[in-house]
């Protein structure tokens, strides 16, 4: 699976290079130890099961209102004040921070964070998978690090051990997860009202699409194949049940042919695809994998598929549906434009 596409859905990114050179080890150790003395506005700890929502209370030593949120690990992250220097380890987190109006507080990002365009000007800390560069993060002097479901647990613990608060967002399994993380990150950075506005808007847009889809009988909804990576046209990657992509296809009025084939992200053989005979093929692989519609038409055996024969193969920006962030409503609308009867048919 292409590294960038994989990173977008939370499976991973390209493996990072070798560790820090031993020549620099002494300097790094000194920098990390020194940073502990400078950082102290936040902490994280295990949270009770019934206290897993964002909250504020007057708990900081200087009398200000503390900012709290429980992350995907079940740990409560507490900040004494809104963060001024944020490092994001996932594109979705980066988009959320910009949507909250705090792009100017982002001082470091993962290499895949490219939206909005202003995010590209933020210094990259280098590859974050399988383990982020701790030195690069520490040198950005963050008072909050936003991780993701694939963030290395030991790395997160190491940063917390240095006094750097780390919030780990959940793996993007469904819309509820997306909404929850937007709300919690908003609460943690002191932008609860803005987070609620973002959530309210995207929920209304998605509800409008769902209402349109509800007018189409279940049996009349088209069979859809969503391709994540087509590097091997005989064994392309797709998204099955229990994934955000699967849920969004259903909301947009389609029937994902991989829904019954398996859970999560996996390879679906050409024989299974031919048997399911999708009426629509969506190429999420076009975004970062470089797959184009014409190349699909030329694939051995694919011309027999109804979607190919009827010209219903569409390139799609996979980031809109795989990144669990504020553009998810646009992703649902884009899917519906290709799936619902009165959607556009242009390529």
Are β-strands 86-88 and 106-109 bridged in parallel, bridged antiparallel, or unpaired? parallel
Q: How confident is the prediction for the chain on average, in pLDDT?
A: 85
Query: Does 119 share its domain with 226?
Result: no
Query: Does 117 share its domain with 242?
Result: no
Phi-psi region of 63 (alpha: psi -120 to 50; beta: other; left: phi over 0): left
Check whether 204 has a pLDDT greater than 70.
yes
Number of domains in the chain: 2
In a domain, 181, yes or no: no
Query: Does 53 share its domain with 116?
Result: yes
Compute the distance between CA of residue 65 and CA of residue 82 in angstroms, rounded to an integer: 10
Check whether 243 has a pLDDT greater than 50.
yes
Q: How confident is the model at residue 286 (pLDDT cuts 50, 70, 90)?
A: confident
Compute the distance between CA of residue 127 and CA of residue 8 in angstroms, rounded to an integer: 13
The predicted pLDDT at position 299 comes to 94
Query: Does 155 share its domain with 225?
Result: no
Determine which of 62-66, 106-110, 207-211, 262-266 has the lowest per-residue pLDDT on average. Answer: 62-66
In a domain, 321, yes or no: yes
Domain of residue 154: give its range. 3-12+26-169
State the alpha helices, DSSP H only, in the chain: 3-9, 25-38, 91-99, 134-139, 153-161, 175-188, 192-213, 244-251, 270-276, 285-288, 293-297, 306-309, 319-322, 328-339
Q: How confident is the model at residue 288 (pLDDT cuts 50, 70, 90)?
A: confident
The predicted pLDDT at position 13 comes to 33
What's the angle, vertex CA 148, arms to CA 145 and CA 150, rounded to 5?
A: 125
Determine which of 2-16, 67-81, 240-254, 324-338 has the lowest per-residue pLDDT on average. Answer: 2-16
In a domain, 251, yes or no: yes
Query: Does 7 share its domain with 137?
Result: yes
Structure tokens, 225: 């194949």
Q: How confident is the model at residue 56 (pLDDT cuts 50, 70, 90)?
A: very low
Tally of CA atoms within 13 A in the half-sphere of 9 that contains its CB: 31
Cβ atoms of residues 102 and 191 within 8 Å: yes
Query: Does 224 share its domain with 127?
Result: no
Check whether 347 has a pLDDT greater than 60.
no
In a domain, 186, yes or no: no
Measure CA 225 to chain center: 21
Cis peptide before 98 (omega within 30 of 0): no
The predicted pLDDT at position 20 comes to 32
Compute the distance between CA of residue 29 and CA of residue 224 in angstroms, rounded to an integer: 52
Query: Does 34 share its domain with 114?
Result: yes
In a domain, 178, yes or no: no
Tally of CA atoms within 13 A in the half-sphere of 334 that contains its CB: 19
**Residue 330 φ/ψ, nearest 5 degrees:** -65, -35
Q: How confident is the model at residue 89 (pLDDT cuts 50, 70, 90)?
A: very high
Percent of the chain with pLDDT over 90: 75
Determine which of 12-26, 75-89, 180-194, 302-316 has the lowest per-residue pLDDT on average. Answer: 12-26
User: In terms of pLDDT, which residue wins out, 323 or 55?
Assistant: 323
Starting from the edge strand earliest in sequence, which strands make up the sheet with 280-283, in order? 255-256, 223-227, 280-283, 313-315
Query: Does 244 share its domain with 141?
Result: no
Cβ atoms of residues 68 and 185 within 8 Å: no
Query: Does 159 share its domain with 261?
Result: no
Check whether 101 has a pLDDT greater than 50.
yes
Query: Does 236 share its domain with 335?
Result: yes
CATH of the domain at 286: 3.40.50.1980
Check whether 27 has a pLDDT greater than 70.
no
Query: Does 142 share its domain with 256?
Result: no
CB neighbours of residue 247 within 10 Å: 23
In a domain, 124, yes or no: yes
The predicted pLDDT at position 45 comes to 52
């Amino acid at each position: 699976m292409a590294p960038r596409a994989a990173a977008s859905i939370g499976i991973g990114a390209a493996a990072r290079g070798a560790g820090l050179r031993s020549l620099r080890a002494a300097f790094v150790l000194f920098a990390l130890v020194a940073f502990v003395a400078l950082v102290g506005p936040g902490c994280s700890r295990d949270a009770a099961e019934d206290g897993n929502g964002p909250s504020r209370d007057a708990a900081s030593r200087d009398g200000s209102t503390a900012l709290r949120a429980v992350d995907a690990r079940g740990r409560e992250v507490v900040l004494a004040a809104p963060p001024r220097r944020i490092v994001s380890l996932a594109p979705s987190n980066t988009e959320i921070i910009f949507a909250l109006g705090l792009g100017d507080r982002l001082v470091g990002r993962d290499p895949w964070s490219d939206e909005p365009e202003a995010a590209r000007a933020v210094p990259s800390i280098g590859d974050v998978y399988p383990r982020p560069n701790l030195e690069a993060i520490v040198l950005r002097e963050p008072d909050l690090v936003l991780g993701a479901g694939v963030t290395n647990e030991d790395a997160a613990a190491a940063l917390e051990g240095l006094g750097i608060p780390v919030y780990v967002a959940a793996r993007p399994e469904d819309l509820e997860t997306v909404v929850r993380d937007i709300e919690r990150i908003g609460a943690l950075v002191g932008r609860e009202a803005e987070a609620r506005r973002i959530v309210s808007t995207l929920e209304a847009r998605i509800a409008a699409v769902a209402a349109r889809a509800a007018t189409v009988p279940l049996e009349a909804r088209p069979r859809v194949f969503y391709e994540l990576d087509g590097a091997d046209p005989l064994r392309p990657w797709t998204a099955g049940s229990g994934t955000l992509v699967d849920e969004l296809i259903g909301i947009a009025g389609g029937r994902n042919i991989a829904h019954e084939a398996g859970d999560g992200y996996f390879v679906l053989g050409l024989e299974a695809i031919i048997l399911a005979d999708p009426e629509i093929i969506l190429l999420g692989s076009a975004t970062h994998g470089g797959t184009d519609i014409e190349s699909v038409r030329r694939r051995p055996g694919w011309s027999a598929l109804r979607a190919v024969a009827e010209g219903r193969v569409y390139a799609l920006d996979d980031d809109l549906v795989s990144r669990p962030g504020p553009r998810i409503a646009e992703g649902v609308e884009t899917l519906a434009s290709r799936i619902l009867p009165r959607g556009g048919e242009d390529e």
